[in-house]
């Protein structure tokens, strides 16, 4: 029997069986890709994926969300991968031809994400098989450079290998794992990394590879690195180096989101990644820095961006006439939604950024996958 509503946040918290009648239209939930190319993917275990399949088969609103993702995955099945040997992205204006070409190539990462999410909701081997093709083709062509801003965008390939590893032959596993190790070693050997969202993405790559390949030294490096990052890149008042240097909440969020995503996925591999509420001796914590964003995300406060940025790239962007980088432009609160969809795994209050007029659990796909409806901690 198909049911028409999911347990709300209130009923879930009370552990009562009451269901609310609620149908959400396709256009009423926030999409996976809020700001373009996706770099953070929710990793479900088999039990959680089975729970999702039950919800997909039971509730029309979840079915609608899944159908939209599955349709994109079906499109990806017909796509022939076009891996790149290098990525031209970091430090370039969005109007640069090389960056435009790179962003076009990186659309394949979104395809991999769609294949991963489609595989959670349906027992169809073609999704994993196509993801395997993307992983093999990119790992045979892309040459690691150690640039975390660029290589962070390849995260979907790393997770796809973990999820569909049994589809790779022995030789293929060797190829992919050597490539992943090369990425990790390039990140480890960086002589210096800016202590802001750059460091978050560097540690994220090392953490994913350490988790997927079960390399304890990489996990320990990442975990210790995140503790130091929290202590030195964030402040007790919730601000960050990104916020103080760039004068932009956008980059504050850009450092927090991959950090929280690592903690969410990492705890299944190593409980030491449970650092969301870790408080450094200075009083700084990821939790406090996420809380700092909350009033802006819910619309209680507005913030003028880029007014006093110290970064040359921000000046270049403004001079190029890019509207979203003009000093004084108001922060778009929707840019913070992915951060709270991830933070909801640790703190259910994060769901309130999506509003109270709809069931917050199904306001976004990532939020749903990180909600108590799917997850058990």
pTM for the complete prediction?
0.92
Q: Which of 36, 56, 46, 78 is nearest to 254 (CA)?
A: 36
Does residue 280 belong to any structural domain of this protein?
A: yes
C-alpha to C-alpha distance for 57 and 359, rounded to whole angstroms: 18
Q: Where are the alpha helices (DSSP H) in the chain?
A: 9-14, 46-58, 60-77, 97-105, 107-121, 125-141, 148-151, 155-163, 170-188, 197-213, 216-233, 241-246, 249-266, 286-297, 312-319, 337-343, 365-369
C-alpha to C-alpha distance for 268 and 271, rounded to whole angstroms: 7
Residue where the block lists tokens 């089975």: 50
pLDDT of residue 376: 74
pLDDT of residue 142: 98
C-alpha to C-alpha distance for 284 and 155, rounded to whole angstroms: 27
Quick one: DSSP state of residue 173? H
Does residue 1 belong to any structural domain of this protein?
A: no
Tokens of 107: 């659309």
What CATH number is given to the structural domain containing 34?
1.50.10.100
Range of the domain at 164: 9-369
Does residue 107 belong to any structural domain of this protein?
A: yes
pLDDT of residue 356: 67
C-alpha to C-alpha distance for 212 and 33, rounded to whole angstroms: 24
Q: Which of 100, 96, 122 is nearest to 36 (CA)?
A: 100
C-alpha to C-alpha distance for 157 and 308, rounded to whole angstroms: 37
pLDDT of residue 72: 96
| Residues of the chain predicted below pLDDT 70 | 1-37, 356-358, 377
Does residue 186 belong to any structural domain of this protein?
A: yes
Does residue 239 belong to any structural domain of this protein?
A: yes
C-alpha to C-alpha distance for 5 and 21, rounded to whole angstroms: 5
pLDDT of residue 10: 45
**What are φ and ψ of residue 304, in 5° steps?**
-85, 125
Does residue 3 belong to any structural domain of this protein?
A: no
Does residue 324 belong to any structural domain of this protein?
A: yes
- In contact, 291 and 238? CB cutoff 8 Å: yes
Domain count, the chain: 1
Residue where the block lists tokens 């090369």: 182
Does residue 246 belong to any structural domain of this protein?
A: yes
């Amino acid at each position: 029997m198909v049911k028409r509503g999911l347990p709300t946040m209130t009923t879930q918290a009370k552990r009562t069986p009451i269901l609310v009648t609620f149908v959400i239209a396709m256009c009423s939930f926030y999409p996976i890709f809020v700001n373009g190319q996706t770099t953070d993917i929710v990793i479900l275990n088999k039990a959680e994926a089975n729970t999702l399949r039950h919800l997909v088969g039971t509730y029309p609103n979840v079915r609608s969300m899944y159908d939209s993702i599955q349709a994109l995955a079906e499109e990806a099945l017909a796509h022939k991968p076009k891996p790149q040997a290098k990525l031209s992205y970091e430090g370039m204006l969005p109007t640069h031809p090389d960056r435009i070409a790179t962003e076009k190539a990186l659309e394949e990462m979104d395809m991999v994400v769609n294949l991963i999410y489609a595989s959670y909701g349906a027992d169809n081997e073609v999704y994993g098989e196509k993801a395997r093709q993307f992983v093999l083709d990119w790992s045979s062509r892309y040459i690691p450079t150690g640039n975390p801003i660029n290589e962070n965008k390849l995260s979907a390939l790393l997770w796809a290998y973990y999820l569909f590893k049994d589809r790779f032959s022995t030789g293929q596993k060797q190829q992919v794992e050597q490539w992943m190790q090369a990425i990790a070693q390039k990140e480890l050997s960086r002589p210096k990394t800016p202590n802001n969202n750059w460091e978050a993405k560097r540690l994220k790559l090392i953490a994913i590879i350490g988790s997927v390949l079960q390399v304890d030294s990489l996990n320990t490096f990442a975990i210790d690195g995140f503790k130091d990052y929290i202590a030195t890149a964030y402040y007790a008042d919730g601000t960050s180096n990104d916020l103080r240097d760039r004068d932009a909440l956008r980059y504050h969020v850009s450092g927090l989101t991959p950090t929280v995503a690592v903690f969410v996925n990492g705890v299944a591999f190593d409980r030491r990644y449970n650092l969301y509420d870790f408080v450094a001796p200075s009083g700084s914590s990821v939790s406090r820095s996420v809380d700092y964003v909350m009033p802006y995300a819910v619309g209680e406060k507005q913030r003028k961006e880029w007014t006093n940025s110290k970064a040359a790239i921000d000046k270049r962007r403004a001079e190029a006439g890019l509207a979203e980088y003009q000093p004084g432009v108001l922060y778009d609160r929707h840019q913070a939604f992915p951060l709270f969809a991830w933070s909801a795994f640790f703190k259910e209050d994060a769901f309130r950024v999506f509003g109270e007029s709809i069931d917050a659990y199904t306001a976004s796909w990532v939020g749903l996958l990180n909600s108590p409806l799917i997850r058990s901690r």
